[in-house]
Every structure is written in structure tokens, then in C-alpha cells.
A = this chain, B = another copy of it.
Amino acid sequence: MEQKKESPLVGIVGLGLIGGSIGLDLQSLGWRVHGLVHRTKTADRAKARGLAQLVSTNPTILSKCDLIILAMPLREIINPSPELVDALPLNAVITDVGSVKSAVLSTWREIHPRFVGSHPMAGTAKSGVESGQNDLFKGRPWVTTPESKTDLEALTMINKLALTLGSNWITTDAESHDQAVGLISHLPVLISAALLSTVSKSGNPKIINLAKRLASSGFEDTTRVGGGNPKLGSSMASENRKEILIAIDQYRESLNQLEKSIINKEWEKLEAELLGMKRFRSRFLNSNNTN
């Protein structure tokens, strides 16, 4: 018979969209949560919103935690402050929420023996201490990137965390993760931003004003991710630089192929290519729904 264990005491570093949402969900399930933030003002708002039972700007708030989730911006995860590192109990399990995993593991496998890399793939257009919400992770992928020497007990605890939040558990290696998100998450931000840049620079105010009046849901959809969080976009690019540069190269080649059909007036070929893409998209997103 399975023994009912007490839930771990969880420390969350950073109570923005991801950290705050984890705090809300875990508490509503009866877990105990301590939150560490930078500024007193943020701590006050986090307390008022009930993002954690205890919120402090002092890292000692983590000293009794069994599980610590690094939910700071990506660059802070990769360059943690010495005060934070010193405050992490050696026997705690540590995970993060960064959207790039190779760079995070390079740093953290040296810092802490019980670190496990995570990337909960959920988001809204919001950020900051006011943005945390319940049920953000339900039905969304929670990618974990264990290595051969990863502590099994630590990995089991992250699994429990992900399933508790209602996420779909996915494990892979950090390099594959970074390649895949480079293609389906980081590259889209850049090609979408380049579209905005093209329109903004097109020069003729008459055309821009007309374009404004004619732009519809197609333009809105295609530019959504390019008009997202600039800090996140830039840090994705800096921390996943190698994979993104490869992806941009492949993308330019794909665009050149389509352009070639237009230059050569190969309309049937272009239609066949577009039909192939329509079918690919449908298969790609459908299999996503059933997984």
C-alpha cells in the first residue's frame, strides 16, 4: 500500500508569470510555498496577491526548502548571483524554468549536485508580479532534460511537480530541446519581428497608412510573437545563439526557394509547395493535439 507523504516545502525564486503561477497552483493544492524576490515593492505585491505563503527579499527564506524552482529571467538563471547560490541547501532539489537548456545545464551542473533542467512551456502575453494565474500549466508540455548522472530522486520530484500542475511530462536531452524550440519558438519570433520591421521601414507613408487600414487577422496572427516581450526575445537569441543561427540559415533557404518559383513564374510548382505546407501544418499540429 502506498504511503501518503507530506508535500515538499517549495521555494520559488522570482514570482513573475511562471513563478507566480506555480505558486498559486501549488498552494491551492495544499503545498507550502516560499517566494524570493529582488525588491520590497515586488514582495509586497506578491504577498497581497497570495503568490506564496511567505515572501521575502532575503535568500535565507530558502534554507528549509526541499525543492527550489529558479523562475527568474533566463539571463539571471544562467548568471545566478553568489548570494542565491550560497543560499541553496545542498540536499534540496533544484530546477529552473528557462526556455533554453544547454546553457542552463552548463552553468548548473557545476553549481549543484541535485539540479534538474526544466522548461514548462506555457505563457501568456503578460509578465511581472501581477501576471501569475491559476491553471497556466494544465495540458501544456513540461520538458525536463535529465543527464546520465542526474539524481533519480531529484528527477522523481520534478516529475511529481509537473504532474501536480497538470502538465504533460516530456524528457529529452538539452541539445535536442534547444534545436526543437529554436525551430518552433525562437525562429518564429525573429521571422515575425522581421515582418514588422519590413512594414515599418517600407518608407512611403501613404502605403503605410493604407496598410494600417487594410491589415486584418492574418497580419495580426503572423506578427503576434514578433511583437512580444523584447527582453525574452533577446535572451532566447543570446542563449540559444548557435541553434538560432542555423535555423535562420535554413529559413532563408526556404524563403529563397519560394521566391525562385515566383521569379521563374512556376505557379503550379508554387501551388504544390503551398499545398505541401498546408498538409504538413495540419499533420504537425494534429499530432501535437493527440500527444
Q: B-contacting residues of A (Cβ < 8 Å)?
A: 121, 123, 140-141, 143, 168, 170, 172, 176-177, 179-181, 183-185, 187-202, 204, 206-207, 210-216, 218-231, 233-235, 237-238, 241, 244-245, 247-248, 250-255, 257-259, 261-263, 265, 267-268, 270-278, 280-282, 284-285, 287-288, 291
Contacts and interface: CB of A to CB of B under 8 A. Distances in A.
A224 B230 CA distance: 23
Contact of A197 (B201, B231, B258): B258
Contact of A291 (B213, B261, B291): B213
B230 A225 contact: no
A215 to B, nearest CB: 5
What is the interface of chain A mostly: helix, strand, loop, or mixed? helix
Contact of A199 (B265, B272, B273, B284): B284
Contacts of A206: 176
Given A214-B141, A216-B140, A291-B212, A273 B193 contact: yes
Interface-central residue, A220, A222, A247, by most chain B CB under 10 Å: A222
A274 B226 CA distance: 7
Contacts of A190: 255, 258-259
Contacts of A275: 230
B252 A200 contact: no
Interface-central residue, A121, A196, A247, by most chain B CB under 10 Å: A196
Nearest to A221: B221
Contact of A214 (B181, B187, B192): B181
A210 B1 CA distance: 36
Contact of A273 (B141, B172, B195, B197): B197
Nearest to A178: B207
Q: Give me the 9 closest cross-chain CB pairs, A-B, nearest first.
A: A227-B281, A230-B274, A234-B271, A197-B254, A230-B275, A194-B255, A196-B277, A188-B222, A180-B211
Given A216-B121, A271-B231, A281 B196 contact: yes
Given A181-B211, A191-B255, 9 more contacts: A180-B207, A184-B215, A193-B274, A197-B254, A221-B222, A226-B281, A230-B273, A235-B267, A245-B262
